[in-house]
């Protein structure tokens, strides 16, 4: 059987609306940490769709679990994010060419912000082919000006003040958006040698209006995000048969 494509979302809404498009074969729930894993087909392809819960630890845990159990051909992280760059607006799609953890702070030992001591890499590149396919799918949905690719930063923090946003941009001036799982999924996939990609829809501007905007726009941006994810999955080349 074809190796599946794993899709991971943090919150219930990020997963259930995509699950509605899926032909589900099996549902598995792990109550200890409120995980949900759906196996089936989406866009004619074998897919494992999982809800991991919020934050980097939950995200890394499920990524390793899914890699061990399903040996996927690729891992895709789908969800919402707060815009950091002024060119990224609510409703836009951001594709993670690279990602890192903005809250890793070992500066007292002279490591730059975001650098994990004793690791070869702390910035994780999204798969190039998946990036190109995702950009194409997103441009088809939204048009050119509303699709961005570049650096996505993750941390165990919901960014909801201008001060915090500017602090992150001070460390990472090229960051397009901030969220809470992507780089953890990226790091886990990278260490396992599995191609990955983070695709995010912007729900807020990661400033003082973020809590209100997040609730107001979440359900508006998710259908577009899901359409991009489904198009991307349909376009992933099937692995050559051995």
* Positions marked active-site: 14, 204
d(CA 113, CA 127): 24
Distance of CA 122 to the CA centre of its chain: 17
Is 4 near ligand ADE (CB under 6 A)? Answer: no
Residues numbered 34 to 93 that lie near ligand ADE (CB under 6 A) are 80-82
Among 92, 103, 179, 230, binds ligand ADE (CB under 6 A): 179
Q: Identify the helix (H) or strand (E) that includes residue 52.
A: none
Among 5, 175, 210, 222, binds ligand ADE (CB under 6 A): 210
Name the token pair of 4.
């599946």
Q: How far is the CB of 101 from ligand ADE (least distance, A)?
A: 12
Around Cβ 173, how many Cβ atoms within 10 Å? 10
Q: How far is the CB of 228 from ligand ADE (least distance, A)?
A: 16
Is 180 near ligand ADE (CB under 6 A)? Answer: yes
Q: How far is the CB of 159 from ligand ADE (least distance, A)?
A: 4
Among 203, 226, 229, 232, binds ligand ADE (CB under 6 A): 203
Strands, DSSP E only, in 186-241?
Answer: 196-204
**What backbone torsions phi and psi does residue 81 show, to the nearest 5 degrees?**
-155, 160
Q: How far is the CB of 242 from ligand ADE (least distance, A)?
A: 40
Is 222 near ligand ADE (CB under 6 A)? Answer: no
* Closer CB to ligand ADE, 81 or 184, in the complex: 81
Among 70, 124, 172, 214, binds ligand ADE (CB under 6 A): 214
Tell me the site size for ligand ADE, rule CB under 6 A. Answer: 14
Longest dimension (CA), the chain: 54
Among 65, 158, 171, 217, binds ligand ADE (CB under 6 A): 158
Residues numbered 126 to 155 that lie near ligand ADE (CB under 6 A) are none
| Residues paired with residue 202 on neighbouring β-strands, in sequence order | 81
The CA–CA distances, whole Å, from 241 to 1, 4, 145, 182, 237 equal 10, 14, 38, 30, 12
d(CA 192, CA 86): 34
Mark out the alpha helices in 73-209 (DSSP H runs): 128-142, 162-171, 182-191
Among 5, 100, 137, 178, binds ligand ADE (CB under 6 A): 178
* Closer CB to ligand ADE, 83 or 126, in the complex: 83
User: Angle at which helices 128-142 and 210-235 pack, to 10 degrees?
Assistant: 110
Residues that bind ligand ADE (CB under 6 A): 80-82, 158-160, 178-180, 203-204, 206, 210, 214
């Amino acid at each position: 059987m074809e190796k599946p494509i794993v899709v991971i979302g943090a919150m219930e809404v990020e997963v259930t609306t995509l699950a509605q498009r899926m032909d589900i074969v099996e549902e598995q729930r792990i109550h200890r940490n409120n995980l949900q894993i759906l196996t089936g087909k989406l866009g004619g392809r074998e897919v494992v769709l999982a809800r991991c819960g919020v934050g980097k630890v939950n995200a890394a845990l499920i990524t390793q679990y899914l890699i061990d159990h399903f040996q996927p051909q690729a891992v895709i992280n789908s969800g919402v994010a707060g815009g950091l760059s002024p060119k990224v607006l609510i409703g836009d799609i951001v594709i993670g060419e690279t990602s890192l953890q903005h809250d890793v702070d070992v500066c007292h030992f002279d490591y730059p912000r975001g650098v994990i001591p004793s690791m070869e890499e702390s910035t994780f590149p999204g798969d190039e082919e998946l990036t190109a396919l995702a950009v194409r799918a997103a441009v088809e949905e939204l048009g050119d000006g509303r699709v961005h690719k570049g650096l996505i930063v993750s941390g165990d923090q919901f960014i909801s003040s201008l001060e915090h946003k500017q602090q992150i941009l001070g460390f990472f001036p090229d960051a397009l958006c901030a969220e809470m799982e992507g780089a953890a999924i990226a790091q886990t996939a990278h260490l396992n040698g599995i191609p990955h990609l983070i695709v995010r829809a912007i729900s807020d501007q990661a400033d003082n209006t973020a809590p209100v905007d997040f609730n107001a726009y979440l359900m508006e941006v998710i259908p577009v995000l899901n359409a991009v994810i489904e198009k991307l999955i349909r376009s992933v080349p099937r692995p050559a048969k051995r």
